[in-house]
């Protein structure tokens, strides 16, 4: 059962180059067109997520989270990826950002930074800690979280359907983010 926060977990967020809007079931084909590229998942614990039958479960989980977003290129209105807020915990004032991926054409363009800035500006109004759970071997994502100011708090094994995968957990507070790569953007919050 998903614990929904007492604030809007799926607002529309508009940046200079991207729009994040709630993910709709009708977005499946467009999002899968992006996710079907094996290169996106090369460092991920689920390297076969580019396969439709594996992506089906991922998409269903995103919809069930009630916090999933489609990421759109503002210039073209095309879906270029997805992300989500999940696992809200009011007792610890935490929420997770996860399930983020982009079409490879948008890698190293600053799009991930803009998406995370939009999400963090919104969410730090309501929670103290943002949690990132990243595959231990996903050095691209780990580096991105560390550049944001995320602090490694846990290394562990995670069971997915009877298979153990190595994971890491990072915590990012507003204070840590203000000393990271998004400091100039988050100062406005």
Report pLDDT for 180: 67
CA dihedral 61, 48, 105, 174 (to 10 degrees): 50
Q: What is the mean pLDDT of the chain?
A: 90
Mean pLDDT of 15-36: 97
Domain ranges of the chain: 13-181
> Is 56 in a helix, a strand, or coil?
helix
Per-residue b or e along 24-49, where b marks 16 or more CB atoms closer than 10 Å to that residue's CB: eeebeebbbebbeeeebbebbbbeeb
Q: Is 159 exposed, middle or buried (0-12, 13-18, 19+ CB in 10 A)?
A: exposed
The token pair at 145 is 């979280």
Report pLDDT for 13: 97
Q: What percent of the chain has pLDDT over 70?
A: 92
Residue 107 makes CB contacts below 8 A (sequence gap 6+) with none
Mean pLDDT of 67-92: 96
pLDDT tier, 189 (very low <50, low <70, confident <90, very high otherwise):
very low
pLDDT tens column, 94-129: 999 999 999 999 999 999 989 999 999 999 999 999
| Cβ pair 170, 131 in contact under 8 A | yes
Bridge partners for 94 per DSSP: 89, 129
pLDDT tens column, 140-180: 889 989 988 899 999 999 887 778 889 999 999 988 888 76
Write the DSSP string, 122-147: HHTTT-SEEEEEEETT-HHHHHHHHH
Report pLDDT for 100: 93
Spatial distance between the Cα atoms of 120 and 171, rounded to a whole number of angstroms? 12
Fold of 13-181: Aminopeptidase (3.40.630)
């Amino acid at each position: 059962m998903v614990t929904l926060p007492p604030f809007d977990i799926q607002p529309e967020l508009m940046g200079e180059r991207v729009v994040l809007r709630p993910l709709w079931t009708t977005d499946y084909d467009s999002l899968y067109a992006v996710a079907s590229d094996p290169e996106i998942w090369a460092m991920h614990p689920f390297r076969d997520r580019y396969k439709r039958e594996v992506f089906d479960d991922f998409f269903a989980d995103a919809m069930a989270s009630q916090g999933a977003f489609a990421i759109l290129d503002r210039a073209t209105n095309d879906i270029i990826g997805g992300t989500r807020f999940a696992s809200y915990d009011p007792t610890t004032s935490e929420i997770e950002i996860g399930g983020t991926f982009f079409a490879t054409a948008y890698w190293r363009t600053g799009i991930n930074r803009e998406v995370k800035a939009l999400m963090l500006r919104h969410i730090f109004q309501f929670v103290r800690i943002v949690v990132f759970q990243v595959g231990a071997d996903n050095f691209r994502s780990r580096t991105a979280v560390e550049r944001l100011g995320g602090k490694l708090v846990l290394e562990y094994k995670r069971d997915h359907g009877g298979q153990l995968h190595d994971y890491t957990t990072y915590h990012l507070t507003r204070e840590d983010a203000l000393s990271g790569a998004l400091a100039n953007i988050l100062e406005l919050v």
